[in-house]
Amino acid sequence: MHDNYWLWLIIGLSIGAFIAWLVFGGKLKVTKEGFEVEIEGVLGYLREAAKRKGTVKPDEVMVRRELYAIRRKLPTLKVLWVDDNPTWNLFERLAFASAGVFIDSYTNNGDAISVLEAGGFELVISDLNRTGKTETGWELLNELRRLRPKMPFVFYVSHIDDEIRERVQKLGADITNDPAQLVQLVLTHVR
């Protein structure tokens, strides 16, 4: 028997359970054309994320417009999210899952860069600081620019000042601390 048999079995069962939860839990509807977004689920998760972060409620018209605009692309959309505290982004990740966006999470640059080299992702979301180091997000962005110069990159942070915003823009990336704007940026980039 292969050394990784049990690992792949567990991964396969986990993915199957997640898809079953999405479909049977009413988050996605399977149709002949593919997946149909459960917009109210996305909006609900964004409302919770905004409440937790203390930002404004999501612009529901904008969210609906963006979701309708990309609904045909959703089943294949893969996003890499790098954050040392992924549980802090639970509602945001649930909103993406409800929209049919696959999020692959990593907590460090080394693992993230390894999977980026393999390809298959359309966008990267990252925090700026990890485990007390202030340059980790910048290092990931610089490495991504070397590997995939055109790939969209979004920093999702708790605080933004003018200096950080200017630095991000110079590097051709985006930055936000608002959950609804995060969804808008991701969906706009993959359209």
Residues 61, 20: one domain? no
The pLDDT assigned to 102 comes to 82
| pLDDT (average), residues 37-44 | 66
Query: DSSP H helical segments within 25-150, as ranges?
Result: 39-53, 60-70, 90-98, 109-118, 136-147
pLDDT for residue 167 is more than 90: yes
Residues 64, 19: one domain? no
Residues 25, 93: one domain? no
The pLDDT assigned to 44 comes to 74
Residues 50, 96: one domain? yes
Residues 46, 135: one domain? yes
| pLDDT (average), residues 91-101 | 80
Cα–Cα distance measured from residue 104 to residue 115, given in angstroms and rounded to the nearest whole number: 10
Number of structural domains (the chain) is: 2
| pLDDT (average), residues 111-130 | 89
List the CATH number of the domain containing 123.
Answer: 3.40.50.2300
Structure token digits, residue 6: 């049990």
Contacts of 146 (CB under 8 A, 6+ apart): none
Winning range, highest mean pLDDT, from 63-67, 76-80, 144-148: 144-148
Cα–Cα distance measured from residue 8 to residue 11, given in angstroms and rounded to the nearest whole number: 5
The pLDDT assigned to 82 comes to 94
Of 11 and 86, the one with more pLDDT? 86
The pLDDT assigned to 14 comes to 64
pLDDT tier for residue 191 given thresholds of 50, 70 and 90? low
Residues 21, 74: one domain? no
| % pLDDT > 70, the chain | 67
pLDDT for residue 58 is more than 80: no
The pLDDT assigned to 40 comes to 65
| pLDDT (average), residues 166-183 | 92
Residues 114, 181: one domain? yes
Mind listing the pLDDT tens digit for each residue in 74-93? 556 789 999 988 888 888 88
The pTM assigned to this predicted structure is: 0.67
Residues 4, 45: one domain? no
Mind listing the pLDDT tens digit for each residue in 100-114? 788 888 899 998 998
Domain housing 22: 1-31
The pLDDT assigned to 35 comes to 46
Q: Kindly report the average pLDDT of the chain as a whole number.
A: 77
Cα–Cα distance measured from residue 124 to residue 35, given in angstroms and rounded to the nearest whole number: 23
Residue 135's identity, in one-letter code, is E
Of 51 and 58, the one with more pLDDT? 51
